């Protein structure tokens, strides 16, 4: 029984549980929590275009830059506040709430004036709520009557776990005697955004309402005696028999803000008025009774929140909907949530995680029986559907679906499932490679595998660029080095060449001793095969220069001939036969044709012209068609190679445009002018120009560097020969090569 249980456990697929478990742990990190919040902010901003307008019972008055510049600086004398409150009470708002801490006693008549204004407003039937805040250190509270504010007595749960502190900063005596106060504590998250706010606050061992909750109580005309707090559940407000308002909170008394409205002009939000404009209009209408004066704000029966947003002194910051907004909007949104019973809800975490785990096991079942395409399609569809559910859940139902974590776990699982399937398929392909890899190149093996059919003899005609390279005077190396050391040298050299050739997409055909034979454009089609071949040739020469420096630095390990190693490369572009050539039992993927032979002649003929990369006009044209002037060419003339009757224009590949020096460009210009004189049989003019260009040649004859000649020197020799034995009158500038 025990053995059967162990076998069952071994066969059970643990990957979904592992992936989702790791994703869950990852989501507990602060960084990933911020990512989750950001995705919720994105949904919140998207919701703006579909949500209903803000509750019309809420209005905002802001002490902003216009008020500071044209009325009074912040903080103003409190007599202005008193006058504003008293004038506003004439417009009959239900509640006036100050999102401002007015604690310190000031000299002068301002405190008394504000106290009198607030008292007048309260007597006129308008509730006034002001701000207070918890504090760690003891606070010197000026003596005075406690006023109407009282702690909440009906509290269920661990009060010690609540948000709060041991002390509090409360309004100055005249203000707290006349008005209620609530706590404005609004802790910011790690990203500086207020997303949760305490609905009730602990001060020592007492529990007090927040500014928003106190405002709601005043609006409903109830006291804290009608409030029941159940930590981890909700704040319950009893308005009458059978009428109870529920506000959800967590075990700390924190409320998750369903932030909807902001001052970003995307959609209408809370009506907002300037402190200065409101004060002047109310005074004009109610005191001066100007017949043609501007109408005051419509505040009848409304909750009016007063905040401050003066530049440099602003009570502002980032919100879920904006980078910088007045923070009075935080309290306004909370009040709007309660009035509309529009609460955000977090979906219990076990629900989405369980759903995605079940879906993950379904994908595991598919991975064992279906194709990779179907697995990927189901994975993408699942991600899209869950994303849609998370977005619609927030837009339509205010439900926050955990989005990032389940998707991270699910996506990781899908990568593992698809990766495992790919690994199994690659393993099967490796078995084929193991069978053929010792005989043919990796590229051909890949083609055989993708073709899905056994190899057979035959080829196709296609345009390619053939690549031939050979080491200059290689026979001398064999004479001066032991076989083992020669093999070591060749392995390092051939590895470097092959890596570059294949790195540019070339197909290695074969090695012939020190020679490398490759092709570009087959077996896979490459529209830019000529450009790739030219780039590879340039890189091989650059890499060989690095190897020469390395070998020289290794001192006596290598004979001096190694320090001077040079390689010549020949390229030609044309239509050739490529395919499996050989016998029915043993063959090789290779190339054949006259254009292949011509590429080999370019390599061997490069020596005759004193260059290290030589190509035909066909390669130059095809390279420039795809690469423009990226590669710099030098015309070397027109030759007839051994075994051919037709003349072939030939070119040296000098290098990449950005790496060719001004000295070399001057050399090329002089050389081309000399070549023009040469074709006109202006031997003296050509001689003079080639002598100048020879001094600027990038490769100067030097035994220590392995350079034997260069094109300018070659043409100087040819001209001297023609001066002694002039060509016939029908000479067209073609030089006939007598060597392969």
Q: Is the pLDDT of residue 421 over 50?
A: yes
pLDDT reported for residue 98: 96
pLDDT digits (tens, 9 = 90+) for 181-216: 999 999 998 889 999 999 999 999 999 999 999 999
Peptide bond into 523 cis (omega under 30): yes
Q: Is the pLDDT of residue 94 over 80?
A: yes
Could you state, in order of their start, the residue ranges of all structural domains in the chain? 13-38+346-427, 48-343, 456-657, 661-740
For residues 444 and 589, the answer to whether their CB atoms sit within 8 Å is: yes
Q: Is the pLDDT of residue 222 over 90?
A: yes
Q: Is the pLDDT of residue 668 over 90?
A: yes
Mean pLDDT (the chain) is 86
CA distance 418 to 170: 62
Average the pLDDT over each of 109-123, 299-313, 637-651, 708-722 and give the range with the smallest value.
637-651
What Cα–Cα distance (Å) separates residue 330 from each residue in 95, 320, 350, 401?
Answer: 17, 10, 30, 23
- 156-181 as b/e: b if 16+ CB within 10 A: ebebeebbbeeebbbbbbbbbbbbbb
702: CB partners within 8 A, 6+ apart: none
Joined together, the tokens standing for residue 676 give: 């023009």
**Residue 443, number of CB atoms within 10 A of its CB:** 19
Across 187-196, 265-274, 555-564, the highest mean pLDDT is recorded for: 187-196
Q: Which residue has the higher pLDDT, 432 or 474?
A: 474
Beta bridge partners of residue 238, listed in sequence order: 244
Q: Is the pLDDT of residue 468 over 90?
A: yes
Reported as half-sphere exposure (CB side, CA atoms, 13 A), residue 238 has a value of 10
For residues 627 and 619, the answer to whether their CB atoms sit within 8 Å is: no
**Element (H or E) spanning 270, and its range?**
none
**Among candidates 478, 470, 548, which has minimal Cα distance to 510?**
470
For residues 293 and 285, the answer to whether their CB atoms sit within 8 Å is: yes
pLDDT reported for residue 11: 44
Q: Is the pLDDT of residue 7 over 50?
A: no
**pLDDT bucket at 246, cuts 50 / 70 / 90:** very high
pLDDT reported for residue 411: 77
Decide: pTM greater than 0.75. no
Average the pLDDT over each of 310-324, 606-620, 667-681, 701-715 and give the range with the smallest value.
701-715
CA distance 613 to 539: 11
**pLDDT bucket at 725, cuts 50 / 70 / 90:** confident
The mean per-residue pLDDT over the stretch 517-534 comes to 90
CA distance 284 to 294: 8
Taking each helix axis from N to C terminus, what angle separates 529-553 and 617-627, rounded to the nearest 10 degrees?
A: 100
Instruction: Phi first, then psi: give them for residue 519, nearest 5 degrees.
Output: -140, 150
pLDDT reported for residue 143: 84
Q: Is the pLDDT of residue 326 over 70?
A: yes
**Residue 708, number of CB atoms within 10 A of its CB:** 15
The mean per-residue pLDDT over the stretch 104-108 comes to 88
pLDDT digits (tens, 9 = 90+) for 380-402: 787 788 888 888 888 899 988 88
What CATH number does domain 456-657 carry, 3.40.50.300, 3.30.1280.10, 3.30.70.1230, 3.30.420.40?
Answer: 3.30.70.1230
Q: Which residue has the higher pLDDT, 6 or 641?
A: 641
What percent of the chain is predicted at pLDDT more than 90? 46
DSSP letter assigned to residue 504: T
- The residue written with tokens 């350079």 in the block is 707
pLDDT reported for residue 738: 57
pLDDT reported for residue 208: 97
pLDDT reported for residue 427: 66
Q: Is the pLDDT of residue 366 over 80?
A: no
The mean per-residue pLDDT over the stretch 318-341 comes to 93
């Amino acid at each position: 029984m025990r053995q059967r249980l162990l076998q069952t456990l071994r066969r059970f697929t643990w990957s979904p549980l592992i992936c989702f478990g790791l994703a869950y742990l990852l989501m507990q990190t602060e960084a990933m929590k911020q990512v989750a919040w950001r995705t919720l902010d994105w949904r919140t901003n998207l919701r703006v275009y579909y949500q209903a307008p803000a509750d019309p019972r809420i209005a905002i008055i802001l002490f902003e830059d216009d008020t500071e510049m044209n009325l009074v600086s912040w903080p103003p004398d409190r007599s202005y506040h008193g006058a504003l409150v008293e004038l506003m009470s004439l417009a009959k708002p239900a509640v006036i709430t100050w999102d401002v801490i007015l604690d310190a006693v000031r000299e002068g008549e301002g405190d008394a004036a504000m106290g009198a204004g607030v008292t007048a407003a309260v007597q006129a039937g308008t509730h006034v709520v002001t701000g207070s805040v918890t504090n760690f250190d003891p606070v010197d509270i000026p003596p005075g009557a406690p006023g109407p504010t009282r702690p909440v007595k009906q509290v269920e749960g661990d009060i010690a776990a609540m948000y709060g502190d041991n002390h509090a900063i409360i309004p100055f005596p005249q203000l707290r005697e006349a008005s209620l106060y609530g706590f404005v504590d609004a802790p910011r998250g790690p990203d500086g955004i207020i997303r949760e706010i305490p609905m009730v606050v602990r001060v020592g061992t007492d529990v007090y309402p927040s500014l928003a909750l106190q405002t709601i109580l005043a609006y409903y005309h109830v006291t804290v005696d009608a409030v029941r707090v159940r930590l981890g559940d909700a704040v319950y407000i009893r308005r009458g028999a059978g009428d109870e308002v529920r506000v959800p909170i967590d075990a700390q008394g924190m409320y998750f803000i369903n932030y909807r409205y902001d001052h970003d002009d995307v959609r209408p939000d809370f009506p907002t008025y300037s402190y200065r404009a409101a004060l002047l209009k109310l005074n004009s209408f109610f005191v001066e009774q100007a017949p043609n004066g501007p109408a005051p704000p419509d505040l009848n029966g409304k909750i009016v929140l007063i905040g401050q947003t003066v530049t440099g002194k602003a009570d502002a910051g980032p919100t879920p909907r904006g980078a910088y907004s007045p923070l009075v909007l935080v309290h306004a949104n909370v009040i709007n949530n309660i009035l509309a019973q529009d609460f955000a809800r977090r979906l219990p975490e076990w629900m989405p995680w369980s759903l995605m785990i079940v879906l993950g096991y379904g994908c595991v079942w598919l991975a064992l029986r279906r194709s990779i395409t179907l697995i990927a399609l189901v994975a993408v569809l699942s991600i899209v559907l869950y994303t849609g559910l998370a977005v619609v859940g927030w837009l339509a139902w205010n439900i926050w679906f955990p989005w990032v974590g389940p998707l991270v776990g699910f996506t990781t699982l899908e990568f593992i499932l698809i990766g495992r399937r790919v690994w199994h398929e690659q393993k099967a392909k490796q078995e084929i490679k193991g069978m053929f890899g010792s005989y043919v190149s990796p590229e051909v093996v890949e083609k055989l595998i993708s073709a899905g059919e056994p190899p057979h003899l035959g080829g196709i005609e296609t345009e390619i660029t053939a690549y031939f390279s050979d080491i200059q005077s290689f026979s001398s190396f064999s004479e001066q080095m032991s076989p083992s050391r020669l093999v070591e040298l060749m392995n390092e050299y051939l590895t470097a060449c092959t890596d570059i050739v294949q790195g540019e997409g070339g197909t290695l055909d074969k090695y012939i001793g020190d020679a490398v034979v490759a092709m570009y454009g087959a077996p896979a089609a490459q529209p830019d095969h000529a450009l790739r071949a030219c780039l590879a040739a340039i890189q091989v020469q650059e890499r060989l220069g690095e190897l020469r420096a390395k070998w020289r630095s290794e001192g006596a390990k290598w004979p001096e001939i190694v320090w001077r190693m040079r390689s010549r490369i020949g390229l030609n572009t044309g239509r050739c036969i490529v395919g499996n050539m050989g016998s029915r039992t043993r063959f090789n993927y290779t190339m054949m044709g006259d254009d292949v032979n011509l590429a080999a002649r370019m390599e061997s003929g490069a020596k005759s012209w004193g260059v290290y990369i030589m190509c035909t006009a066909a390669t130059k044209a095809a390279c420039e068609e795809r690469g423009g002037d990226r590669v710099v060419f030098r015309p070397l003339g027109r030759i007839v190679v051994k075994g051919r009757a037709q003349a072939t224009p030939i070119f040296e590949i000098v290098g990449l445009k950005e790496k060719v020096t001004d000295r070399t460009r001057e050399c090329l210009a002089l050389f081309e002018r000399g070549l023009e004189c040469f074709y006109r049989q202006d031997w003296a003019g050509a001689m003079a120009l080639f002598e100048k260009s020879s001094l600027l040649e990038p490769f100067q004859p030097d035994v220590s560097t392995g350079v034997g000649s260069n094109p300018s020197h070659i043409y100087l020799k040819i001209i001297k020969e023609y001066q002694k034995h002039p060509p016939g009158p029908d000479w067209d500038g073609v030089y006939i090569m007598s060597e392969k």
